[in-house]
Amino acid sequence: MQPQNIALEEVYRLADEALQNNGCDEQNANAVARTITRAERDGCASHGLFRLPGYLKALKSGKANGRADPKVEQLAPSVVRVDGDLGFAPLAHERGRSSLIELTRETGFAAQPIIRTHHFSALWAETEPLAEAGLAAFAFTAYMPSVAPAGGRKPFFGTNPLSFAWPRGDGAPPMVFDMATAAMARGEIMIAARDGHEVPAGAGVDADGAATTDPKAILGGAQLPFGGYKGSAIALMVELLSAGLMGEAFSDEAAARDNRDGGPPQGGELLIAIDPARFGDPEGWLEHSNQYLERLGALEGVRLPGDRRRTNRERIAKDGVSVPQTLLDDIAKLAGA
Ligand code: NDP
Ligand code: PYC
């Protein structure tokens, strides 16, 4: 069946209506719909409408609270926590963002643990607004066991993404990277399985631990970290920062308490923000770093992380986005009236 081309306004309407029809109040539905639309706008299909069925399943099973009222609380001079009230992460981020920005400007450096939330999205949408506010920002979150640690053959780490954003001043788009610590995001492997494509060698192993490029075999086996033991160490760091640090669940613990409805598990996330104007070069840091990034981007064959997304953003805003009919059918079935 032919994919449908739909405008971003329609992506938002579809997500928002489906969420509100299935137990989300307006604020929660709007926040998740904005996150899904942003992902589609930047060509990140694995974290756009593709995730809507999971959000709906988590509402239907009662795992996630569609009426969550996230609360912000300062824990220490540079730590401001958000308790997500067991809802989806987008509203927790929206509620916590201004306190994190204010505190970072005040102290030069601040962190935001986000607890009791269900995370199913791309992290760049969370670090980019902080860099647009002039701050450097990191985000880390764990998932459920999907990735075999270096030397192992069975899933233990989540796909555990991290993102870093760097401000470039005066309305210029920040430099943002965002990557799973698995060789591929699980969503990309699921899409390859759905569409019948192989994945690159190194993405995972089958249930017997044998290397394979068959995405279905990897989903039944284990993904691999990027870069062998180095990516494995970074995946471990993400577990410690987003779970051990803040009393939230490690990936294996999140899986143990998850009801397997296909929606996002409950877990934590850590944001860290830095005000570059408070680190010793208040007048020079921006131009100095911009010149460096320009030298990097000018090298033959090199582009800056985030450039592909921004090119997509310009094109998709005009042309709309192509969505598989099967996904639209799944959403319609789950969304009901
Ligand atoms: P990719 O491997 O596609 O990209 C990782 C980063 O590298 C991006 O910032 C990308 O920029 C950049 N990049 C890619 N190619 C180049 C290049 N040639 N030169 C310079 N930079 C490059 O992402 P992943 O598959 O690892 O992750 C996809 C998404 O999945 C992420 O948004 C992540 O947050 C999300 N995810 C979410 C999880 C969760 O638990 N919520 C778990 C795991 C992943 P660009 O975008 O411009 O290509
Ligand atoms: O793509 O690995 C992934 C993922 C996990 C949770 C949300 N996205």
- One DSSP character per residue, 116-157 reads EEE--S-SHHHHHHHHHTT-EEEEEE--SS-BPPTT--S--B
Q: Domains in the chain: how many in total?
A: 2
CA 119 to ligand 2 centroid distance, Å: 9
Provide the pLDDT for residue 171.
83
Same domain, 171 and 254: yes
In a domain, 311, yes or no: no
- Rounded Cα–Cα distance for residues 283 and 6 (Å): 45
Flag residues of the chain having pLDDT under 70.
1, 337
Provide the pLDDT for residue 325.
95
Provide the pLDDT for residue 336.
86
For residue 47, indicate whether it is catalytic: yes
Same domain, 85 and 211: no
pLDDT tens-digit map of 81-97: 999 999 999 999 999 99
Residue 115 zone, left/alpha/beta (φ > 0; ψ -120 to 50; rest): beta
Provide the pLDDT for residue 1.
64
As a whole-number percent, the residues of the chain with pLDDT over 70 amount to 99
Same domain, 58 and 83: yes
Q: By residue range, what is the domain housing residue 193?
A: 183-224
Closest atom of ligand 1 to 181 CA is 26
Provide the pLDDT for residue 170.
87
Tokens 């409805």: give the residue.
261
Provide the pLDDT for residue 122.
98
Residues 252, 257, 263, 265, CA torsion sign: negative
Identify the residues whose C-beta falls under 6 Å from ligand 1: 44, 46-47, 119-124, 141, 143, 159, 161, 177-180, 184-185, 187-188, 303, 305-309
Q: Among 167, 193, 224, identify where a domain stops.
A: 224
CA 65 to ligand 2 centroid distance, Å: 20
Query: Where does the chain show beta strands of DSSP type E?
Result: 4-6, 71-76, 79-88, 109-118, 136-141, 162-166, 175-179, 204-205, 211-212, 222-223, 266-274, 321-323
Provide the pLDDT for residue 279.
97
Provide the pLDDT for residue 305.
98
In a domain, 319, yes or no: no
Same domain, 201 and 265: no
Same domain, 17 and 166: yes
For residue 188, indicate whether it is catalytic: yes
For residue 46, indicate whether it is catalytic: yes
